[in-house]
Amino acid sequence: MNGAPHGRVRLWVVAALLGGVLGGAWAFPRAGTFLVVEDRFSHADIALVLSGDAVHRSLAARDLYRQGRVDRILVIPEPPDPAHDELVRLGLLDPAFVWSERILMASGVPRSKITFLPEPVDGTIQEAMRVRAFLKDKPPASLVLITSKFASRRARFIFRHVLQRQAGQVFCSPSPYDSFNPARWWAHPRQALYVVMEYQKLLVNALTLALGRLTP
């Protein structure tokens, strides 16, 4: 009699472990795919280039402008880079060199259609808040986020939450020049690191927004 309950407990433990293993095996390869979102849209007033990968994201914004799918491009400046300063010191780079501006203008985007936020911002939530303040006097009817593939779901979630009264529609269009492979992310150590870190950021950002711990 005493052995029966223990046997059932062991059975439940084994079943739970088996379910966990099977669930993990099903979810593991899809972890990268979940992070990537790409909205269908025909036109947006503004393409917002998030900081973090100026080359790939500027090229994506350039393509949308050439296709007539965006009217203007708003760029969040890159944070200070010691390597950039060293290249300037060595005379290898113009101190005024900005990748986003050079790429967009070399691609035929008029300078009058390109706007830079006044200064860099640290973190996606802070970027969204800075953009909200920047657009408050003339909120666009629509805006499309240009970011990396693996960061697209989190970026869209954050900007839709923060800009819900500042923009009619918020789309996301990750850069096609980004080499992230959501279907085979585990095969590349750097991409695997991106996925792990992105889930951590997604959790922390979701909790921050839910608790309302935002600082301007």
pLDDT tens digits for range 43-94: 999 999 999 899 999 999 999 999 999 999 999 998 878 887 888 888 887 7
For the chain, domains (ranges, CATH) are 34-179 (3.40.50.620)
Residues 73/65, Cβ–Cβ less than 8 Å: yes
Three-class SS of residue 214?
Answer: coil
Q: If residue 65 lies in a helix (H) or strand (E), which one and from where to where?
A: helix 54-66
* Res 167: pLDDT: 76
CA distance 201 to 203: 5
Length of the chain: 216
Which one is predicted more confidently, 164 or 13?
164
**Structure-block tokens of residue 168:** 């009619």
Q: Mean pLDDT, the chain, as a whole number?
A: 86
Quote the pLDDT of residue 26.
Answer: 43
User: Which residues make Cβ contacts (< 8 Å) with residue 78, sequence separation at least 6?
Assistant: 51, 52, 54, 98, 99, 100, 120
Residue 166 has pLDDT above 80, yes or no: no
User: What pLDDT score does 211 carry?
Assistant: 87
